[in-house]
Amino acid sequence: MEQLEMYQTGIAITMACNLKCRLCSNYAPYYAHPAYHSLDYLKEMMRRYFTVVTRVRKLMFTGGEPLLHPALGALMEDLCQYRDRIDVFGVITNSGLVPGPEVLDAAQKFGGKFHFLIDDYGPELSVKAKETAALLDGRGIRYVLRNYTPDNPHCGGWVDFGDLSRKKCQTQADAEALYAKCAYPQKLHFAFDLVDGAMYPCGPSRRCRELGVAVEDSEYIDLFDDTLSAAEQREKIAAIYRKKSLAACAYCNGMHDDSPRFQPGQQLTAGELVKVREGARFYADIQSKEE
């Protein structure tokens, strides 16, 4: 397979975060020691990504909080060499921090394809939302302000993917039915996660694999696996797009129109953070330990 266009990829350049959100879709608060990979590693990861991927419609730097990574600006600068192969590029921030000059310079160099996605959780958490917006206005850098306050939050709020250690779909038909209405494969054409050099179709599939649940080698791509050619890696990704369900679907609540919604950005309490330090792997884990 010589060509591969991906719909979108979210690259978590660190899972470190200034917030501790209960229902974080990337499970950032549940990593005991989030990595800060070196700039050289991240540049090599992107080189390998674009060796496999011919074009990507939407590429986002995520986290955690990407503005915490000291190499963010330099990595954005390096990514400019792939600009013609990216339709839309951006950085997602919870607006607890202000982007520094190096990040802003790189954003301007990237041009009109770039935008910041500013998630606003209200003045107590997103303390730099207005300052960031004003700074970007002054630089002429595009941004989207996404409301995650209790008042009419984006998409009605967040979803809880549930206890990923417990199988919920007992049959393949049940898993395929969940997959058929889940927004990840259907509306988003998968929002592939690129974390620590490996790509996964969605956050829950990545978390399942990390937990040793629903481990299916055909459903993740290790960009640093030199036993596979770029063409073989492309075929693995193409095969994921053709699937009718993922192994992780059997363990996940999914994300669909009738999923219960929760207030975005709810922070783990001091007692809940103790449970995380004791090994809780997601919010349902904390709840089960409290029962």
Indicate whether 119 pLDDT > 90: yes
127-186: pLDDT as tens digits: 999 999 999 999 999 999 999 999 999 999 999 999 999 999 999 999 999 999 999 999
Condensed to tens digits (0 to 9), the pLDDT of residues 174-203 reads 999 999 999 999 999 888 999 999 999 999
Residue-wise pLDDT for 217-228, tens only, equals 999 999 999 999
What average pLDDT does range 239-256 have in this prediction? Answer: 96
Q: What is the pLDDT of residue 253?
A: 97
Q: Which domains does the chain have, with CATH numbers?
A: 5-158+188-244 (3.20.20.70)
pLDDT at 35 over 90: no
What does the mean pLDDT of the chain come to? Answer: 95
* Rounded average pLDDT over 8-31: 96
Does residue 19 register a pLDDT over 80? yes
Global pTM value = 0.95
Q: pLDDT-derived band of residue 288, with 50, 70 and 90 as boundaries?
A: confident
Q: How many CA atoms lie within 13 A of 205 on its CB side?
A: 27
pLDDT score of 146: 96
Please state, as a whole number, how many other Cβ atoms lie within 10 Å of the Cβ of residue 45: 20
Q: Is the pLDDT of residue 290 over 80?
A: no
